[in-house]
Structure 1
Amino acid sequence: MKVLDADFAKGFIHLCESGFKRGWHERNGGNLSYRIKPDEVERISEELNEKGPFLPIGTKVQELAGEYFMVTGSGKYFGNVPLEPENNIAIIQIDQSGENCQIKWGLCNGGVPTSELPSHLMNHNVKKRVTDGSYRVIYHCHATNIIALTFVLPLKDEIFTRELWEAATECPVVFPSGVGVVKWMIPGGREIALETSKRMEEYDVVIWAHHGLFCSGEDFDQAFGLADTVEKAAEILVKTLSMVSQKRQTIQPEGFRQLARAFQVDLPEKFLYEK
C-alpha cells in the first residue's frame, strides 16, 4: 500500500486542513504527530526508505525506540499539506538509543521534522505510558482566543480550567481532567518539552502562554475535537469578558458535581473551589 492511501495518512492530512481552515496555523505555525500502529507500518513498508538520514531529536525517549511517527516538517505550512503532502510531512523512526530519528518517507524536497519534535516525542512518551498505548496523536495549534486569555488570566491550572468549564456546559465532560498551563518559554527546546510532558501526566490539554495549545488523544478526531472545544470555550469567555467586568451568573460547584454524576466523569475537587 502507498503511504498516502493509508487511512492514518488521510486522517493526518484532514486534520492539517481542518486546523488551517480554523485560522490556527498562520504561516508555518503549529505541528502534528501520530504514532503509527505496527500493522499500519507493515502495510506501507515497501514505500519506506532504509537509507534516510539520521537526525538528533534534541532529547532522549528510550521508551519510544523503534517506533514510527508521521510528523509535519519544520518550516512547512499546514495549508500546503493537502496540496503536496510528500513535501510537507514525513514518516520517521526512532533509533534504538532514543536520541535520533531516521526519515523513512516524505520531505521529498529536503527538510527536517518539526522544530517542536522534542515536545511531541516527550508527550508521546508520557501518553503511551499513562494510557497503556491508546493515545497516538499530539496536536499543537495557535488557537487565537486561548492565546488572548493567557494575557489576562493568571497562568494557573485551576483558574484556566474553571473559567473554561464555566464557559460551556460540555467542557467538563469533554476534558474532565482539566487543562495544564505552562508559562512563557522559548519553544522548540528540551526545557519547554519537559514542562509540557510533566503536565501531560495529568491532563490531555496543555496551554502554552502567549503561544497556543497542545492536545493529545487516541485518534485525530479526538485530539482535534479537544482543541476545538477548548478554543470555542475560550472564544465565549473572551466575548463575555469584553461585555462585562464580572459575570452575573455561571455554573456553580454543585452544578459541576451534578454534571459529573449525570455523565459519569470524575471532576477533580481542586477545580470546584468557591470563588
Structure 2
Amino acid sequence: MTKFFYQTELDDFKATAHWLALRGWSEAAGGNMSIRLDCQDSSLADLPEDDHIKLPVDVPYLAGKAVLLTGSGTRAREIGVDPLPHIGLYKISEDGRHYGWVAGNNNPSMELPAHFAIHNTLERHRPEDKAVLHTHPVSLIALCHMPEFNNGFNNAKTISDKILSMQSEARLILPEGIGFVKHELPGSLELGLKSALELKRHHLVLWQYHGLLATGETLAGAFDKVEVLEKSAQIYWQVLVAGLDPKGIKKAEIKHTLKAFGRLERYFPD
C-alpha cells in the first residue's frame, strides 16, 4: 500500500496534524485535510469502471488527478503519530464526474465532495495551492458570536479590516483578507461550493460558528495562515478583555506597509 504514497506528503500530514492537536484546534475527530496530486506515476493507472462512484458535482479540472484525504472519524492526535492508516488515496475519473478509492483508508471524510469542489477551483484559479486544511480555531469561532461580526452585512470585510489590523504583519501575510460563509450544514456540498467561490481570491474562509478553511502549497503553508489569523483574533480578544477598544492599525498605515512590500495590488479594501 505504501507504494501509492509519497513520504513528503505523509510527513506534511503528520507534522500538521501534530500541531493541530497540540493547539487544540482539532478536537476529537474535528477537522480534515487533503492534498491534490498529479497522476504521473504508473501506479495510479485507470481504475476499473466498477470502482467509480458518481460525484454530486462535476470537477473537470481534477480529471485524471488524485487526492489524499483524511478518513472519517480520524483524529489529528493519531495522524500526528502515524498518518498512513488514517489517509485515503482517491482518483478522479477522466470525465471529472466519478472517483474511486485507490489505497489507504477507504472511509473518507463526509466532506469529500466539498474537498473535491474546492480543489477543482484551486486547480483552475490557483494551481500552486495543492493543500486544503479545515480546522476549529477557538478565537476565530468565538468572533462569529459577536454582534460586530454577525450583522449579516459584508462579514468578510468587517472581520478582515478589524482582525488583520491587530498586528503589523498580519495583513502583510494575508493582504487579500479572508472569505466568509454563513452557517451551513456541516459536511454539506453547499458549504463546499460556497467556500470554493470565496477561494477564488482568498486563502482563508471563515465558516460561521464552525471553523476555518485554509489553502496553501503544502498543509504546513496552510497552517501558517491559520496561525496568523488566529493570533490576530487572540490579540483582539485580549485587548477587549482588558476593557479597551481594539481599534487596530489605521488603514493608511496598512496600505503604506503593503505598498512598501509590493503587495498593495492584492489588498481589497471594499
Do they fold alike, i.e. is TM over 0.5? yes
Which residue matches 2:20?
19
Structure 2 length-normalised TM = 0.89
Moved over 4 A (4+): 48-53
Which residue matches 1:35?
36
DSSP 3-state at the match of 1:166: coil
DSSP 3-state at the match of 1:177: coil
Give the alignment partner of residue 64 of structure 1, picking from 51, 62, 65.
62
Give the alignment partner of residue 76 of structure 2, picking from 75, 78, 103.
78
- Tell me if 1:141 matches 2:149: no
- Structure 1: distance between partners of 2:257 and 2:32: 33
C-alpha change, 1:101 and 1:5, in structure 2 (3 Å) is: closer
Which residue matches 1:183?
182
Structure 1 residue 244: deviation in Å?
Answer: 2.1
* Larger displacement relative to structure 2 (221-230 or 90-99): 90-99
5+ long unaligned stretches in structure 2: none
Which residue matches 1:93?
91
C-alpha change, 1:49 and 1:65, in structure 2 (3 Å) is: closer
Structure 1 residue 59: deviation in Å?
Answer: 2.1
Deviations 1:46-80 (A, max 9, x none): 8x895694334432212211111111011211211
- Tell me if 1:125 matches 2:130: no
* Larger displacement relative to structure 2 (116-125 or 144-153): 116-125
* Larger displacement relative to structure 2 (214-223 or 56-65): 56-65
DSSP 3-state at the match of 1:167: coil
Q: What amino acid sits opposite 1:146 in the alignment?
A: L
DSSP 3-state at the match of 1:216: strand
* Larger displacement relative to structure 2 (170-179 or 151-160): 151-160
- Structure 1: distance between partners of 2:226 and 2:110: 21
Deviations 1:128-187 (A, max 9, x none): 1112x2110111001111100111023511111011211111111111111011111102
Structure 1 residue 87: deviation in Å?
Answer: 2.2
- Structure 2: distance between partners of 1:210 and 1:157: 14
Deviations 1:205-259 (A, max 9, x none): 1000111000011122211101111111111112222222523x53111101111
C-alpha change, 1:28 and 1:54, in structure 2 (3 Å) is: farther
- Structure 2: distance between partners of 1:269 and 1:124: 23
5+ long unaligned stretches in structure 1: none
* Mapped contact 1:68–1:92 kept (Cα < 8 A): yes
DSSP 3-state at the match of 1:186: coil
Q: What amino acid sits opposite 1:147 in the alignment?
A: I
Q: What amino acid sits opposite 1:130 in the alignment?
A: H
C-alpha change, 1:82 and 1:90, in structure 2 (3 Å) is: same
* Mapped contact 1:58–1:189 kept (Cα < 8 A): no
- Structure 1: distance between partners of 2:242 and 2:100: 52
- Structure 2: distance between partners of 1:183 and 1:5: 36
Identity of aligned residues (%): 25
Which residue matches 1:240?
239
Aligned length in residues: 262
- Structure 1: distance between partners of 2:102 and 2:161: 43
C-alpha change, 1:49 and 1:84, in structure 2 (3 Å) is: farther
- Structure 2: distance between partners of 1:106 and 1:23: 26
Deviations 1:6-53 (A, max 9, x none): 2122112221222111111111100101012445x45xx28x895694
- Structure 1: distance between partners of 2:254 and 2:162: 12
* Larger displacement relative to structure 2 (229-238 or 50-59): 50-59
- Structure 1: distance between partners of 2:98 and 2:78: 27
DSSP 3-state at the match of 1:236: helix
Which residue matches 1:116?
111
